Amino acid sequence: MGEVILTMKGIDKSFPGVHALDHVDLEVRRGEVHALMGENGAGKSTLMKVLTGIYTKDEGTITFEGKEVEFHNTREAQDAGIVIVHQELNMLGHLTVAQNIFFGREFKKGIGIDDRKMNEEAAKLFERLNIDIDPTTTMSDLTVGKQQMCEIAKAISHEAKVIIFDEPSAALTEAEIEELFKIIRDLRAQNLGIIYISHRMDEIKVITDRVTVMRDGAYVGTLITEDCTKNDIINMMVGRVIYEDPKTHSMVPEGAPVVLKVENLNAGKMVQNVSFELHKGEILGFSGLMGAGRTETARAIFGADPKQSGDIYMNGEKVTINTPQDAVNHGIGYLSEDRKRFGIVVQKSVAENTTLATLKEYLSGIFINKRKEEKVAQEFVDSLATKTPGVDQLVVNLSGGNQQKVVIAKWLCRNSDVLIFDEPTRGIDVGAKNEIYKLMNKLAAEGKAIIMISSEMTEILRMSDRIVVMCEGKITGELDIAEATQENIMNLATREIS
């Protein structure tokens, strides 16, 4: 690691009702990958928004390359050499790769745009990053991983000296994550300072040099990665010990009735002849590699995608589910992996989101009974320990973990018998994960039947009573938790069935 390139000292920021940053410190050196960690709501994103000019700090100083600075917008930060690569990609699908990289600062030829020059400059960026992407390709034709690489190239095109990666691996496959790490190591070798925000503890140990931990908007401390353990970081993040031991035996009572039965379900090439049963009080884990067909199966059951054939039974009775409303009416709730797109309305309040699936119950004539709605929402905020200043707070202002709790509250308010949790802890920190796990176990103990789709092997082994494994749209095996290991799950996840 080289000299200090960026120092944030005593950064303080308050919003109405929330003290978001409480005199936070951060130091980044040239040629280092510096992890920024903390639970959802710890203040990581707010700190980065202060750094890049989205928010104005109330107190504190920012020193960049030896000079005190304050940026008033992201353009000023970019021009100085501080660039953020967001988790949620900000690309225009109908434009080419080169057009996206130079959008808003295109090369001109006379009064027109010089596409040839942009293609040449984009090619130079990809060569520097050792990335094989054709600059003339339409952005929507690339995989998510390749689009991420284009975001990085765009950052480099600003002559970046500090790059912030915000949950960069959340939507990537294992192979794409390896490619990402190669690029990050190359950037580190080129003496850039890199801030790496992630909840994936294993990644932190692999790719970072130091770790700064925040908790409840405050600075906790900075560790040298190779000198600390995973538990050291977790303890700093949450201020308590979190156990991640796998489940050793099924918690489902013997003879528990079958709540949901799926027979010979077909929905395109990603759902082929899928059959399984789900019992009352059971957490049924769905495991498999990216593209195995798990989400597609859930969406077909829920009526979000059309099915071609197959039968669905609820409590022994054959039901017809052609739309999500059909599924909801039959007692099925679906927590999508993309909660912002399908689970919540971010510009609505906590109370309004909580009652979304049961709105008829809160109508007085043509008006919503706000007092009744807020009372019910507050009960779920209390029972789920949702961190929010109040039920009138807009969901967009909540952390990812707390947004997930609002989605759960929506389906608990509906009193669904079957809950499908699709990647329930994606983008959620270790402390919030633990709270979601406790909540799922509590729901199962109360008799709810849960399908949990997860790409995290430790999560599958920790939570499931039984595990269904899929590969290329087909179920390749089923394991009781007592016999499940990472090895035999992976064997089934890579085994094709003709």
**26 confidence band (pLDDT: 50, 70, 90):** very high
Strands 18-29, 4-15: parallel, antiparallel or unpaired by DSSP?
Answer: antiparallel
What is the CA angle 410-413-416, rounded to 5? 90
Task: Please state the rounded mean pLDDT for residues 53-61.
Answer: 94
Task: For the chain, give the percent of residues with pLDDT over 90.
Answer: 46
pLDDT at 12: 96
**What pLDDT sits at residue 178?**
83
| 301-314 confidence digits (pLDDT tens) | 999 999 999 999 99
**pLDDT one-digit tens code per residue, 393-445:** 998 888 777 888 888 888 888 878 999 999 888 767 677 788 788 889 999 99
* CATH architecture group of domain 4-238: 3-Layer(aba) Sandwich (3.40)
Does the structure show a pLDDT above 80 at 101? yes
pLDDT at 198 over 90: no
3-state secondary structure string across the chain: CCCEEEEEEEEEEEECCEEEEEEEEEEEECCEEEEEECCCCCCHHHHHHHHCCCCCCCEEEEEECCEEECCCCHHHHHHHCEEEECCCCCCCCCCEHHHHHCCCCCCEECCEECHHHHHHHHHHHHHHCCCCCCCCCEHHHCCHHHHHHHHHHHHHHCCCCEEEEECCCCCCCHHHHHHHHHHHHHHHHCCCEEEEECCCHHHHHHHCCEEEEEECCEEEEEEEHHHCCHHHHHHHHHCCCCCCCCCCCCCCCCCCCEEEEEEEEECCCCCCCEEEEEECCCEEEEECCCCCCHHHHHHHHHCCCCCCEEEEEECCEEECCCCHHHHHHCCEEEECCCHHHHHCCCCCEHHHHHCHHHHHHHEECCEECHHHHHHHHHHHHHHHCCCCCCCCCEHHHCCHHHHHHHHHHHHHHHCCCEEEEECCCCCCCHHHHHHHHHHHHHHHHCCCEEEEECCCHHHHHHHCCEEEEEECCEEEEEEEHHHCCHHHHHHHHCCCCC
Mean of pLDDT values over 335-362: 81
Residues 79, 83: Cα–Cα separation, whole Å: 9
pLDDT of amino acid 242: 57
Q: Tell me the Cα Rg of the chain.
A: 24
Is pLDDT at 327 greater than 60 in this prediction? Answer: yes
Q: Out of 3.40.50.620, 3.40.190.10, 3.40.47.10, 3.40.50.300, which CATH number does the structure's domain 258-493 have?
A: 3.40.50.300
Which sign does the torsion angle of CA 184, 426, 452, 264 carry? negative
- pLDDT, tens digit (0-9, with 9 covering 90-100), for 219-245: 999 999 999 988 888 788 877 555 566
CATH 3.40.50.300 residue ranges in the chain?
4-238, 258-493
Please report the pLDDT score of residue 66 as a whole number: 94
Categorize the per-residue pLDDT at 358 as very low, low, confident or very high, splitting at 50, 70 and 90.
Answer: confident
What pLDDT band is residue 133 in, cutting at 50, 70 and 90? Answer: confident
Q: Is 0.75 surpassed by the pTM of this model?
A: no
Mean pLDDT across the chain:
87
Token pair in block for residue 449: 């039947």
Confidence tier at 88 by pLDDT (50, 70, 90)? low
Please report the pLDDT score of residue 426 as a whole number. Answer: 76
Q: What is the pLDDT of residues 161-187, one digit of tens each?
A: 999 988 777 666 677 788 888 888 988
Res 334 pLDDT > 60: yes
Residue appearing with tokens 């949901």? 260
Specify the amino acid at residue 4: V
pLDDT, tens digit, 9 for 90 and up, residues 32-41? 999 998 876 7
More confident residue, 414 or 207: 207
